[in-house]
Amino acid sequence: MNRLLLAFLALAAIALPAAAQPLPPVPLPEPEPETAPSPSPSPAPSPAPSPAPSPAPSPAPSPSPSPIPSKPWSEPPPPPPSPEPEIGLPTVLASPTGRLLPAAIIYSRSSLDTSGGLASDLRVGLGDVAEFGVELTDLVRARESAAAAPHRLAPYLAATFKMGLAEHRLFTGQPALALGFRKSFEHEIDGRATRIAELYLVGTKRLGDSVELHGGGVFWDASIRDADGAGNGAAAEDFLHDHGVRRQLRGFGGLGLRALADAQILVDLYWVPEFCYECTDRQIRLKALLSWGVRYDITRSIKLDSGVRVPDITAADLLDAQIFGQVTFLHRGLRRAVDHLR
């Protein structure tokens, strides 16, 4: 009796610490296709093979207590939920990307800069193929005359509609493509009413795990109208499209480099119209906007960007450069509501 008790205690002394440890890697027999058929034609075996019908991996049939508890083998933990795919953001820093928001995902971005600019962008994904949004931009500027310093026209309210194709949709290697249109409401200040609109086609291509390239063309248009009749020699109304397609069409691009798992280095070049109230030849010109900075992924739904923006690189005026910060939120509540509705 004592021997039996001692043997039981010895077994318990071995089994209990073992049960408290992670399971040692026990060599399992290779799953045979006949006994464990996989619904997928993939030859790779499933990482979590069904335990019940599998051949006995250990001398489990023995009713005697085993140093390896059998419960974990008979009831494996449920597989972790598949991670949601990363959401590609619709803008680099200032320029658009070829990415589209997934259906019913709400995107909001708010930014401020050292020159007092405030901007906001709110969008929603439509059916995985389009997105619609409204924004307040602080990038549009105006100057009284060609010699005067430019000042910001803000808040400038605009609406955006963008549609496109996800990466690899048509064929392997196809970049993400998007056709976007943005148009502002009329902005009236200082007796001038201005509007802007842009139509762009942009592609985004991921190279490896850490590099993303963006490139495309933008077709700008804008108008300025003398709202109170004090034109001072300038035309009563001027349209950018009256000066030829060559003055409307520009190329742009961007680069994203994932330096760390949660941080990206971003650079982009974009174009923004600038108005000149008293210029007599052309009252609207496109100015090249260069931005660079870092995007830090605080969580999967919150991103923080910071960097430097040069509103007119042809002027080479670093005193005009701005340091900006912007925070982006991705909301999935509407997506869940739509899924629930279905």
Partner 1 sequence: MRSAVIALCLAAASAARADGAAPADRDPPRRRDASWAELYGGRFRSSRLFSMPVADVVGAYQISLGGDYSLLQETGVLSSAGALAVGFGDIAQLEYRHTAAISIGQTTAPVPAVGVQLKVPLPERRYLPSWAVAFRLGVPRRERFGAMSVDEAVTDLYLVARLRLGAVTLHGGARVSAARIDVVDDGPGFHADRRLVLPTVGAELAMTSEARLVAEIGLAPQFRFDPDAPATPRIHPGGLGRLGVRWFLHPALCVDASLGYQVEVAGAQAVDRPSAVVQWDIRLGGEVFVPWGALACRAVGIFCE
Interface with partner 1 (CB under 8 A)? 103-104, 126-130, 132, 159-161, 163, 165, 169-171, 181, 183, 185-186, 195-199, 219-223, 239-241, 245, 248, 338, 341-342
CB atoms within 10 A of CB 33: 10
Closer to partner 1 at the Cβ: 215 or 273? 273
Rounded to the nearest 10°, the torsion over CA 150, 156, 159, 160 is 30
Residues 6+ apart with CB under 8 A from 134: 122, 157, 158, 159, 160
Residues 6+ apart with CB under 8 A from 206: 167, 212
Tell me the closest approach of the beta carbon of residue 271 to partner 1, in angstroms. Answer: 14
Closer to partner 1 at the Cβ: 165 or 267? 165
Tell me the closest approach of the beta carbon of residue 294 to partner 1, in angstroms. Answer: 32
Closer to partner 1 at the Cβ: 122 or 126? 126
Tell me the closest approach of the beta carbon of residue 333 to partner 1, in angstroms. Answer: 14
Q: Cα(65)–Cα(18) distance, rounded to whole angstroms?
A: 13
CB atoms within 10 A of CB 114: 12
Tell me the closest approach of the beta carbon of residue 245 to partner 1, in angstroms. Answer: 6
Strands 141-143 and 263-276 come out as parallel
Residues shown for the chain: 342
Tell me the closest approach of the beta carbon of residue 186 to partner 1, in angstroms. Answer: 4
Closer to partner 1 at the Cβ: 3 or 342? 342
Closer to partner 1 at the Cβ: 129 or 290? 129
Q: Cα(279)–Cα(146) distance, rounded to whole angstroms?
A: 6
Cα angle 177-327-181, degrees, rounded to a multiple of 5 = 30
Tell me the closest approach of the beta carbon of residue 182 to partner 1, in angstroms. Answer: 8
Cβ atoms of 181 and 198 within 8 Å: the answer is yes
Tell me the closest approach of the beta carbon of residue 314 to partner 1, in angstroms. Answer: 24
Closer to partner 1 at the Cβ: 159 or 230? 159
Tell me the closest approach of the beta carbon of residue 103 to partner 1, in angstroms. Answer: 7
Tell me the C-alpha to C-alpha distance, in Å, between residue 48 and each of 37, 56, 283: 13, 15, 67
Closer to partner 1 at the Cβ: 195 or 285? 195
Rounded to the nearest 10°, the torsion over CA 165, 168, 169, 174 is 60
Closer to partner 1 at the Cβ: 7 or 337? 337
